[in-house]
Structure 1
Amino acid sequence: MTTRREFIALPGALILSACASGPSRSSEFPPIVFVHGNGDSASIWQTTLWRFESNGWPRDRLFAPDQPYPLAREDDRVEQPGRSSTTQHMEFLRDEVEKALKATGASQVVLVASSRGGYAVRNYIQNGGGAARVSHAILGGVPNHGVWNVPGRSPGSEFAGNGAFLQALNAPKNAQGDEVTGPVKWLTIRSDRNDKYAQPLGTWIGDPKLATGVTYEGPALKGATNVVLPRVDHRETAFSAAAFEAMHRFITGREPATLQVVPEDHVMLGGKVVGTGLSSTEPASGNFANNLPLPGAKLEVYATDAATGERRGPAVLTQTIGADGAWGPLHAQPATPYEFVITAPGYATTHIYRGPFPRSSTIVHLRPDRIALFERNAIAIVTLSRPRGYFDPERDKMIFDRRSPPPGVQPGAGVATSRIQLLDVGRPVLAEFNGEKIAGRSWPVANNEVAVIELTY
């Protein structure tokens, strides 16, 4: 596909010569609504919010809502329990924009979306009245021309490039053939060739011999400013430091003061405890079906030793989760890692290990795990999870319980978790990813317990 404006972003230097002009000083920090992708939750925006805050953005002007049913229908035209249609997705976003405008008194918002979230953004601006309510729209890794464009392959799916939904969104809007709706300023961010959902072959959608009819340029849009980030994966097009730099420059017209997360003196944490569901289908980026609260769940939080994952004293928080799913607040200590333990009927007791939190967050969402029938004979199970990116053995330095690459990680950036079965319990399990180190512990499957080591970056 040929685009009118496309730029390559190199490490440390984002080249955006035709970037949209920034807002006036009176609107220097416009409200931003962050829209997560297929199967994801608001928690995935945690580090992006921290980077905006570290560059002066007021916390009360950053909004990251949870789509209750984040998975797309297999056929957009057919009702499917636990999933949302394109219309429902758009209507949810429209309501969240109105909430943000009311809360801030602003007349317009900036929308920042990952993957499927970009479909709701485009649909809202084009068909839901959003053109007057949105100043800038930023789309990270959005499969704007489909994950596949193959006659007869799931034509009712919103991910079909030749399906009715995307064909309508991509129809020319003017004599120049622009695919974006004005007067909104548009930015797309894509990988050069490492996005699993912008591939000429269907390796990551279950059919490696399939010619998808989609190119690496699939996320780009004619009429938008289109940025290319070398080697980033599908998620990193929205959640990496390089993606943040592109976002900040596009909104403000200047480079950010820092790409780092600046620590706070006092860190307060909270979020929701939510349930998991059935495994999602292509091209999902999560393994749960909803973002609904899990009332009645029990939560305990422990400070842990950074080297061994052992608990340092009694629980610092014990809570029974209410109808809204909320947990917290927890006054976290600097440089202290934590273990979050969730117990709920129908789930394994799940021990989630997190590294130190440099800043406050209200979107530290927690999900208990389940043990599959074929895993019931295991001694211990530990999962390494990277919510904001994938594992790429050709790019990343990573170790999981002395194994490199982690089990199940293949060449190319296609998986975000590695799950191992261990022969012993009560011992440290160490994980490292590009310098981030977290220590967890192994727990007995016989007691219906599992562990998750969750990376932050």
Structure 2
Amino acid sequence: MLSETVVSPSGGALAASRAPPVASDSDDGNSEDAMTGSQPARTGRTMLLAVFLALAGTLGALTAPARAAEPRAAFNPVIFVHGQEGSAQQWQSQAKRFSANGYDDGLLYVHEYDTSLPGDDHAIAGLEALVDSVRARTGAARVDILAHSRGTRVAQAYLAVPERAAEVAKYVNLDGRTADSQPGGVPTLAIWSSLQPNGSIGGARNVHEPQAGHTESATSAESFGHIYAFLRGRPPLTTRVLPELPGSVEIAGRAVHFPQNRGLAGRIEVWRLDPATGARAGLLPQHVVRVGADGAFGPLGVGGRGHYELAFVRPGERTGHFYFEPFERSDHFVRLLVSPPGGVADSIDICPAHTALTVVRAREWRAGTADDDRLRIGGADVLNRAVSPQLRQILGLFAFDKGCDGVSHLDAALPPFDRIPFLTATDLSLPADERARGSIPVTQTMRGTGGVEETLAVPNWPSDGHTVSLLFKDYVDIPSGG
């Protein structure tokens, strides 16, 4: 069978108000067949929801979750498989988009594995165990699998065994391994980024996004539109992450050594913050939970419009401080990523007089032209062609004072980070306070947003006793209207 190819310009999205064609949920054909069919009769609730979502695009504000009027049994469970140096963190946005289109959080799973190991046998075995567990837990006959980068190697090896392939309804291959035919004969959608402009899987529906970065091809709203239409046989009602009512939002996740993705025991404190300074609001945390060896915590209720810090405390270790943009929608894929002994963090110079920051986003940081991203830390622009070149596909930036000399050098990426995939580092002096009474504003201007700025303010914790990590979303929030 000849493969079908679609070239998709970056930045597009399927319209929420578009009338969706329907195919049977039991359809096993490829996506070209699955996207044919007749328009179903809508329930009054679903029609009202479609109108509401269409209006949301015009009004720019939405404060209630979207829920499709379909029973849970109508959806296959979805299993996400990350790539090299990955975790559940890269799937947070897509999981929330699935949720906004009616998927119960109990149908969304992630397969995490140790990417510091060169072989895939452990990852394949783990995926097999997870598929069996998810099918038993949900009662589903089959699952859908979405895999990115190295994860496509894992997924395709898994699907090569007919008995395993029979348990998968549809497969999405995101900017990874090519193939002459659909893996295991499973209906396949393949999405390719600018890194693989000629990528193809024979017999699959191949979509090319020539402006997208490698990770962006898996995390973007545009990719979600293609993925949902392939899995469901019709476009999604929305490709945006829609806010829930603030009192309904909850978070859950794990604390892990990264990139091994092994759980860590400790204590997690959830603090509400003053968004202007990052200082803790109140004398006591909103939640205090002790986590076991698997590192799992939650679900924990948080305010949908508030700024939060998750502090991870372990005896004899530096306290980890994790800062987030507001959780406008429930998020069960939160990850507190901790570098293990001998890991990348050992290359960060630490001292009591300076703060060290890690800034992460699941969309590549690009710099060099007026239309690219900007990232300002304490007022200093830290992105440039040397620190974050497009070809390196940077997702994480470390900012610390090299040599603890109080002098910044922002014109080059620091070794060894300049050789580690997806990571970079810059020499930035950020004076600390022993009681973290100062504030460091960190502002991103994301490309393609018309100059929208988003700021996270964090206390200036000294790096000899504290690590500070900031996670920016890979999309721009819908204004809440208040």
The TM tier, using the shorter chain, reads 0.7 to 0.9
CA distance change for structure 1 residues 412 and 86 in 2, over 3 Å: closer, same or farther?
A: closer
Give 1:413 shift. Answer: 5.6
CA distance change for structure 1 residues 315 and 406 in 2, over 3 Å: closer, same or farther?
A: farther
Q: Deviations over 1:390-426 (max 9, x none)?
A: 1012453322212335362224462112222334122
Give 1:185 shift. Answer: 0.6
What is the distance in 2 between the residues matched to 1:373 and 1:21?
50
Paired residue for 1:392, among 359, 366, 369? 366
SS in 2 for 1:364: strand
Corresponding residue for residue 379 of structure 1: 354
Give 1:244 shift. Answer: 0.6
Corresponding residue for residue 406 of structure 1: 383
Q: What amino acid is aligned across from residue 459 of structure 2 in structure 1? A: R
Corresponding residue for residue 428 of structure 1: 440
The answer to which of 87-96 and 419-428 deviates more is: 419-428
Corresponding residue for residue 453 of structure 1: 470
Computed over aligned residues only, the root mean square deviation of the Cα atoms, in angstroms, reads 2.8
What is the distance in 2 between the residues matched to 1:448 and 1:239?
34
Q: What amino acid is aligned across from residue 51 of structure 1 in structure 2? A: R
Contact 1:8–1:14 (CA under 8 A) maintained in structure 2 = no
What is the distance in 2 between the residues matched to 1:411 and 1:108?
39
TM normalised by structure 1 equals 0.75
Give 1:18 shift. Answer: 6.4
Q: What amino acid is aligned across from residue 380 of structure 2 in structure 1? A: R
Q: Deviations over 1:328-370 (max 9, x none)?
A: 3321012111111123356432211111101222221212357
CA distance change for structure 1 residues 348 and 221 in 2, over 3 Å: closer, same or farther?
A: same
What is the distance in 1 between the residues matched to 2:363 and 2:239?
17
What is the distance in 1 between the residues matched to 2:354 and 2:143?
50
Aligned length: 375
CA distance change for structure 1 residues 449 and 35 in 2, over 3 Å: closer, same or farther?
A: same
What is the distance in 1 between the residues matched to 2:399 and 2:321?
15
Q: What amino acid is aligned across from residue 415 of structure 1 in structure 2? A: I
Q: Which runs of no fewer than 5 residues in structure 2 stay unpaired?
A: 16-29, 38-69, 401-428, 433-437, 447-451, 475-482
Give 1:309 shift. Answer: 1.2
What is the distance in 2 between the residues matched to 1:403 and 1:121?
42
Give 1:28 shift. Answer: 4.0
What is the distance in 2 between the residues matched to 1:437 and 1:302?
18
Corresponding residue for residue 435 of structure 2: none
Q: Are positions 1:269 and 2:251 aligned together? A: yes
Paired residue for 2:394, among 411, 415, 440? 415
Corresponding residue for residue 441 of structure 1: 459
SS in 2 for 1:318: strand
Contact 1:33–1:109 (CA under 8 A) maintained in structure 2 = yes
Paired residue for 2:211, among 231, 245, 269? 231
What is the distance in 1 between the residues matched to 2:347 and 2:213?
32
Corresponding residue for residue 34 of structure 2: 21
Q: Which runs of no fewer than 5 residues in structure 1 stay unpaired?
A: 74-84, 146-169, 171-177, 199-215, 277-287
The alignment-based identity, stated in percent, is 27
What is the distance in 1 between the residues matched to 2:192 and 2:14?
13
Q: Are positions 1:122 and 2:134 aligned together? A: no
CA distance change for structure 1 residues 93 and 23 in 2, over 3 Å: closer, same or farther?
A: farther
TM normalised by structure 2 equals 0.71
Contact 1:38–1:72 (CA under 8 A) maintained in structure 2 = no
SS in 2 for 1:6: strand
